[in-house]
Amino acid sequence: MPAHRQVVTFEEPRIARWLLGSSQPAWIWLIARLWLGWEWLPALGTPWQRGEDVDLRPRLRRRARRREPTGTT
């Protein structure tokens, strides 16, 4: 004898439908995303967030050395 399954459906809460399905709360999401991104920057360990001076010259020199042809025949 096969078992009968009953399908149960329910609606999303109205607040969730408004926050996730409407374009009106876009400003809320923008502020939340900017704040969260700003909070995560120190976790990445970027020199700018630590207040260090950043000198790109050594990095550019290394990149230029890699592009130079090595040895000619």
- Residue 29 belongs to domain spanning: 14-67
Total structural domains within the chain: 1
Residue 1 resides in a domain? no
Q: Which of residues 25 and 69 earns the better pLDDT score?
A: 25
Q: Give the mean pLDDT of the chain.
A: 79
Distance CA 18, CA 73 (A): 69
Residue 24 resides in a domain? yes
Residue 44 resides in a domain? yes
Question: Residue 44 has which token pair?
Answer: 């990445």
Residue 9 resides in a domain? no
Question: Residue 67 has which token pair?
Answer: 């592009």
Residue 47 resides in a domain? yes
pLDDT band at 29 (very low <50, low <70, confident <90, very high): very high
What single letter denotes the amino acid at residue 50? R
The answer to whether residues 49 and 41 touch, using CB atoms and an 8 Å cutoff, is yes
Residue 58 resides in a domain? yes
Residue 5 resides in a domain? no
pLDDT at 16 over 70: yes
At 42-60, the pLDDT tens digits run 666 666 556 666 677 777 7
pLDDT of 35: 92
